[in-house]
Amino acid sequence: MHGITKLIPGIAGVIATAAVLALTVNALRPNPLPIVRKPQNTKRPYINSAKLAPKSIEKATTVPAPAKPKSVEAPSVTKTIQKKTPVSVQKAAVVEKSTAPQAYFTTLTDAKELYDKSAATFIDARASEDYLAEHITGAVSLYNQDFNALYKDIMQNIPKDRAIVTYCSDSQCTEAAKLADALVAFGYTHVAIMQEGLPGWRGAGYPTQGTEAAE
Amino acid sequence: MKRSLTFICRIIIAGIFLYAGIGKIADPSSFADSVAAYRILPRELVNAFALVLPWTEVLAACALFLPALRRQGALVLTGLCTIFILAVISAMARGLNIDCGCFAKASTAVGARVLARDVVLLAMCVVLMLEKGGEVRFSGETRGHLPGV
């Protein structure tokens, strides 16, 4: 016991030095990690597949999705609603005027619906090594940390009004949300984050590919 | 034989923790996401933990080669391995399907394989921790020679 006590200053020294180095190096980074993690934007509204990719869904289905008057609508959706439900249009229009373009959340089910109709581009926001190990079949890789370097090559052939679904490791990861926000800032109008991430997709038995993907 | 064992353990442990630590230092954001995925720490502490832990791994690994800090380094790494094992068991018990975050960008799902690896690392750290003070007494008086070096 006495021997352990003698070691405490050394242990404290190692940890304290690590803390000082960590904070110093982080402060010197071009994009330092915030010391206190910011909460996920849980107020981000949800969007369903019909609203995220209205053109594709209209082509594929004869019955359009019903409008929800109180929900925040994507810009192009508002036009569709205007023809059918004038009362909700007024509310939606008010929301639209006061709401800047933003990235939405979408559910696994809606994402799969878009996937089945090839109505959305899926973008893996994780590191390229993780992408190569396993990713949603057909998804492209755009690691958010390398966004500026990769954006042009990856996104040049994707129209700005194309539905885009981003994902990362799970509901706790932030890369998909950051990537989605960045894409909106670059002019993409129909961007949504699939919160369940790759584990949710894989867990539902949906197709994945990569060096470590299950056959 | 015993000296050879501790020397080999030291080289392996130092190499693994240096590799793991440097990778995480290079990409703190990804590691912070991995830490958050375990859903153990409060959100406010996740980034601070993700920043400090890799440096602790690196410094403790380096300390294994400094006679004055050898046992301290081994003790810190033993503590880290214990934390990793508890975190992995906790994640498995809750059915979390997450990446372990063990080696920066390399993707390894939390599971029995990761747990087994951590247990082996813990055993090696314990071997180093139980090494007699990082010092060898040749005639009851002399100190400071490194076993196996």
Write out the DSSP string of A65-99: PPP-TTSPPPHHHHHHHHHH-HHHHHHHHHHHHH-
8 A C-beta contact, residue A44 and residue B39 = no
pLDDT number for residue A55: 65
Task: Give the percent of chain A with pLDDT over 70.
Answer: 74
pLDDT number for residue B10: 94
Cβ pairs bridging A and B (under 8 Å): 111
Lowest mean pLDDT among A193-197, B85-89, B103-107, B111-115: B103-107
pLDDT number for residue A30: 87
pLDDT tens per residue, range B11-20:
999 999 999 9
Please determine, for residue A178, whether its predicted confidence score (pLDDT) is greater than 90.
Answer: no
8 A C-beta contact, residue A163 and residue A121 = yes
Say if the Cβ atoms of B33 and A19 lie within 8 Å. no
One-letter amino acid at A177 equals: A
pLDDT tens per residue, range A116-164:
999 999 999 988 888 998 999 999 999 877 787 888 888 988 999 899 9
Helices A175-185 and A147-155, interaxial angle, to 10°? Answer: 60
Please determine, for residue B136, whether its predicted confidence score (pLDDT) is greater than 60.
Answer: no
- Per the prediction, chain B carries an average pLDDT of 84
> What's the average model confidence in pLDDT over B113-140?
78
Q: Which residues of B touch A134 (CB under 8 A)?
A: 107
> What residues of chain A, 55 to 94, have a C-beta less than 8 Å from chain B?
none
CA distance A161 to A125: 19
Could you tell me which residue, A169 or A139, shows the higher pLDDT? A139
Min Cα distance B1 → chain A (Å) is 25
pLDDT number for residue B72: 92
pLDDT band, residue A67 (cuts 50/70/90): very low
Min Cα distance B29 → chain A (Å) is 7
Say if the Cβ atoms of A23 and B98 lie within 8 Å. no
Could you tell me which residue, A44 or B125, shows the higher pLDDT? B125
Lowest mean pLDDT among A110-114, A130-134, A168-172, B135-139: B135-139
pLDDT band, residue B117 (cuts 50/70/90): very high
Please determine, for residue A64, whether its predicted confidence score (pLDDT) is greater than 50.
Answer: no
Chain A residue at shortest CA distance from B132: A3
Min Cα distance B11 → chain A (Å) is 19
Please determine, for residue A75, whether its predicted confidence score (pLDDT) is greater than 50.
Answer: no
> What's the average model confidence in pLDDT over A77-83?
37
pLDDT number for residue B46: 92
Please determine, for residue B100, whether its predicted confidence score (pLDDT) is greater than 90.
Answer: no
Q: Which residues pair with A104 in a beta bridge?
A: A192
- Per the prediction, chain A carries an average pLDDT of 77
- Token code pair at residue A114: 């878009």
Please determine, for residue A92, whether its predicted confidence score (pLDDT) is greater than 80.
Answer: no
User: Which helix (H) or strand (E) segment is A135 a member of?
Assistant: strand A135-136
ipTM of this complex: 0.82
Instruction: Report pTM.
Output: 0.61
Say if the Cβ atoms of A168 and B106 lie within 8 Å. no
pLDDT tens per residue, range B24-43:
999 898 888 889 888 899 88
pLDDT tens per residue, range B40-75:
998 889 999 999 999 999 999 999 999 888 999 999
pLDDT number for residue A93: 38
Q: Which residues of A touch B75 (CB under 8 A)?
A: 4, 7, 11
One-letter amino acid at A89 equals: V
Say if the Cβ atoms of A14 and B29 lie within 8 Å. no
Q: Which residues of B touch A19 (CB under 8 A)?
A: 52, 55
One-letter amino acid at A140 equals: V
Q: What phi-psi label fits residue B104: left (phi over 0), alpha (psi between -120 and 50 degrees) or beta?
A: left
Nearest to A11 among B68, B75, B107 (CB): B75
Task: Give the percent of chain A with pLDDT over 90.
Answer: 27
pLDDT number for residue A174: 82
DSSP, collapsed to helix, strand or coil, labels residue A186 as coil
pLDDT band, residue A91 (cuts 50/70/90): very low
Say if the Cβ atoms of A170 and B105 lie within 8 Å. no
SS3 per residue for chain B: CHHHHHHHHHHHHHHHHHHHHHHHHHCHHHHHHHHHHCCCCCHHHHHHHHHHHHHHHHHHHHHCCCHHHHHHHHHHHHHHHHHHHHHHHHHHHCCCCCECCCCCCCCCECCHHHHHHHHHHHHHHHHHHCCCCCCCCCCCCCCCCCCCC
Say if the Cβ atoms of B52 and A25 lie within 8 Å. no
